[in-house]
Amino acid sequence: MELNESTLIILVAIFCARVIDVSIGTMRIIFLTRGLKTLSALIGFFESLIWIIAISQVMNNVNSWAAYLAFAGGFASGNVVGIWLEEKIALGTLVIRIITQRNVGALVEAMRVAAYNVTRIDAEGGHGQVMVLFTIVRRKQLPEVIALIRQHNPQAIYTVENVRFASSHGYEMSISKRPLALQRSFSLRT
């Protein structure tokens, strides 16, 4: 394959197709893990369609190392773009568990003023009495909550986990299937 304008267009098309199909593949997996099966299936259709178009161009140019490199480079770049997109969209709900030996009054108050529901539990750790705080938030709110923790209790240990399902006020709901406009934080009732 000699490198002329039409060959360059094919190589760029292969590269871009792979970036797109791998990026939406990343999103498909994320939507699937969030319980959005129909959306995942729809995205999967386009992912496979784009992949077939890209691989057909590679097969049409089977003697071109440049086509192989465009295909592989698009795959690698698509992973980076997919992860970046996922971070920007920040779908989902998280539970944040905060463990500390310090007085948590200021942190709890700051979180409640910021409209985060907080559940506080007395517990015993390896070095004595501790307080454990739980809050459930949208993923986009994570940086704000971490900033509050660091401001009011920088020595606290905290963990963050994805939540796929939550229950509140006596009825169950899947947080991941609710429109973002309807989502809100829920506290565990003690």
Between CA 27 and CA 21 the distance in angstroms is: 10
* Structural domain ending residue among the three candidates 23, 58, 89: 89
- For residues 39 and 103, membership in a common domain is answered with no
Rounded distance between C-alpha atoms, residue 75 and residue 12, angstroms: 13
CA distance 186 to 104: 19
Could you tell me if 13 and 83 lie in one domain?
A: yes
Q: Count the Cβ atoms, other than its own, within 10 Å of residue 152.
A: 19
| pLDDT value, residue 11 | 94
pTM (2 d.p.): 0.62
- 29-42 confidence digits (pLDDT tens): 988 887 888 999 99
Q: How many CB atoms lie within 10 A of CB 166?
A: 17
Mark whether 49 and 127 lie in a shared domain: no
Average pLDDT over residues 124-149: 90
Express each pLDDT in 84-124 by its tens digit: 988 888 777 889 999 988 788 899 999 999 989 899 998 88
> Are the beta carbons of 1 and 64 closer than 8 angstroms?
yes
C-beta contacts of 145-152 below 8 A and 24+ residues apart: 145/96, 145/111, 145/116, 148/107, 148/110, 148/111, 148/114, 149/98, 149/107, 151/110, 152/106, 152/107, 152/110
Do residues 115 and 66 share a domain? no
Helices (H), the chain: 5-33, 37-60, 65-89, 105-113, 142-152
When divided into structural domains, the chain yields a total of 2
Residue 119 one-letter amino acid: T
Q: What domain range is 132 assigned to?
A: 93-182
Crossing angle (nearest 10°) for helices 65-89 and 5-33: 40
Verify that 104 and 82 share a domain, yes or no.
Answer: no
Q: What is the mean pLDDT of the chain?
A: 84
Q: What is the mean pLDDT of residues 2-16?
A: 89
39, part of any domain: yes
Say if residue 98 is in the same domain as residue 178: yes
Strand order in the sheet with 93-100: 119-125, 128-138, 93-100, 157-163
Q: For residues 13 and 73, state if they share a domain.
A: yes
Mean pLDDT of 57-61: 92
Q: What is the pLDDT of residue 168?
A: 62
Q: Give, rounded to a whole angstrom, the gap between the first and last alpha carbons of the chain.
A: 70
